[in-house]
Amino acid sequence: MKTKIGKSKGSSLSFLTLLPPVLFVIILGVLPLILIIIWSFFEPTEYWIKPHLTIAAYLKFITLGRYITFVKTLRVSITVTFLALIIGYPIAYFIRKVVREKFRNILLFIFIIPFFLSYIVRVFSLRLILGRYGVINNVLIWMGLISVPIEGLLFNEFAVHIGLLSSYLPFMIFPIVLSIERVGDSTIEASQDLGAPFFQTLIRVIIPLTKPGIFAGCIFVFVSSLGTTVEWDLLGGVSEFSTQQMLESLMMALKFPSAFAISTLILAITICALLLGFKYAKMGKLFETLE
C-alpha cells in the first residue's frame, strides 16, 4: 500500500517535501540580496529610505573617493588570494601525495585547529609575533642580525596581508586537497612514464585536473578577504581602512543606500567570479562523486 501511494503521488510528495527548504533559501538567502540591490537605487531619508529611483549612491561612490578604499581592498584581496594559491598549492600537494596517510590527517588537523579559537584571539595573536617586542624581532635580535626592533611589521598593509593569509590559507588548502585526491597516482605516473619530468607533469596534467579545487579555493579566500574587518582593525592600525570598515561606518551613519551600493558592487564581483569559475574551471566537478 505504502509503496503504491509513494509511486503514484511521488512527484507531488517530493514537491511538498522540497518546499520548506526552497522557501527557506529564498526568504533568507536570495530575498535580502535582491532588496539590497533595489534599495541601493533608492533615496535616503533622515532615518531610512524612500522608494524614489536614483543613482546618487553610486555617484557618491566616485565623487567622495570611496572607490579608492574599495579598489585597495580589492587589490589586497587579490594579492592575498594569489599568495594563498602559491603557498597553499604545494602544501595541499604535499599533504595529499607525499605524506603518508597517518600524518596526512594530523597535518589537516593542524590547519583546522585555529578555527577552534575565537577569530579575534587568533588574529590578535599575530601581534605577538609581528609586534615591536614580538617573536620575530626577539629572534632576530637574539641571533644578532639586528640590534633595534623592526617597526614596519605591524600596523600597516603588510600586516593586513599576513593576517588575511594566516586566516584564510586553510580555505585554499582544503578544496585543493580534495581536487588533488581526484587525480589518480597512476595518472601522474603515466605522465612520467611518457617522459615528462615533474614540472611538466605539474603544469600539463596535475594543475589542469585540479582547476576546480584551485578556483574554489581562490573564491573562498577572495570573498573572505573582501568581507572581513578584524584583520584590518587589529593589524592595519589607524591608517589602513577597508571597504568593510567603510560599510560599517556608513551603516552606523544611517547612509543606507550608499552602503547598499557598495554591497551591490561586491555582490556583482563575487557573482562574476563564481560564474567564471563554474564556466572555465568546472568548479562543479569538485562536488561530483569519485569514480
Partner 1 sequence: MQNNTQPDIYLRNLCKRFGDIIAVQNLTLEVHKGEFLTLLGPSGSGKTTTLRMIGGFEKPTEGEIYIQGELVNDKPPNKRSTRTVFQDLSLFPHMTVGENIGYGLLFQGLNKNDRKNKALKALELVGLEGLYKRKVTTLSGGQKQRVALARALVTQPPILLLDEPLGALDEKLRERMQAELKNLHQMLGISFIAVTHNQEEALTMSDRIAIINKGRLEQVATPREIYENPKTEFVADFIGLANILEGEIIEDNTGVEKLLSNGLEYFIPTKDKFNKGDNVILMVRPERIAIGDKVKGYKNSFSVTVRNILYKGVCSEFYISFDNDQEMRIRVESKSFWQDRFTGGKITIGWDERDTVVLKRESK
Residue 190 interacts with partner 1 (CB under 8 A): yes or no: yes
Give me the residue label for grid cell 503521488. 9
Residue 200 interacts with partner 1 (CB under 8 A): yes or no: yes
Using CB atoms within 10 A of its CB, is residue 24 exposed (0-12), middle (13-18) or buried (19+)? exposed
Question: 283: which residues sit within 8 A by CB, 6+ positions away?
Answer: 212, 215, 216, 219, 274, 277
Nearest approach, Cβ of residue 199 and partner 1 (Å)? 11
Residue 101 interacts with partner 1 (CB under 8 A): yes or no: no
Residue 197 interacts with partner 1 (CB under 8 A): yes or no: yes
Q: Which is nearer to partner 1, 99 or 265 (CB)?
A: 99
Residue 205 interacts with partner 1 (CB under 8 A): yes or no: yes
Residue 187 interacts with partner 1 (CB under 8 A): yes or no: yes
Residue 192 interacts with partner 1 (CB under 8 A): yes or no: yes
Contact yes or no for 126/159 (Cβ under 8 A): yes
Among 6, 10, 90, 184, binds partner 1 (CB under 8 A): 184
Residue 164 interacts with partner 1 (CB under 8 A): yes or no: no
Give me the residue label for grid cell 590547519. 111
Residue 186 interacts with partner 1 (CB under 8 A): yes or no: yes
Nearest approach, Cβ of residue 11 and partner 1 (Å)? 32
Among 62, 148, 193, 252, binds partner 1 (CB under 8 A): 193
Nearest approach, Cβ of residue 104 and partner 1 (Å)? 17
Q: Where are the beta strands (DSSP E) in the chain?
A: 43-44, 49-50
Number of residues near partner 1 (by CB under 8 A): 17
> What is the DSSP code (8-state) at residue 289?
P
Instruction: Give me the helices (H) in 132-242, please.
Output: 135-142, 157-181, 185-193, 198-201, 207-209, 211-227, 230-235
Among 81, 191, 228, 244, binds partner 1 (CB under 8 A): 191
Based on DSSP, count helices (H) and strands (E) in the chain, helices before strands: 16, 2
Residue 104 CA to residue 108 CA, distance in Å, equals: 6
Q: Which is nearer to partner 1, 9 or 279 (CB)?
A: 279
Question: 267: which residues sit within 8 A by CB, 6+ positions away?
Answer: 33, 36, 37
Interface residues toward partner 1, by CB under 8 A: 184, 186-187, 189-197, 200, 204-205, 208-209
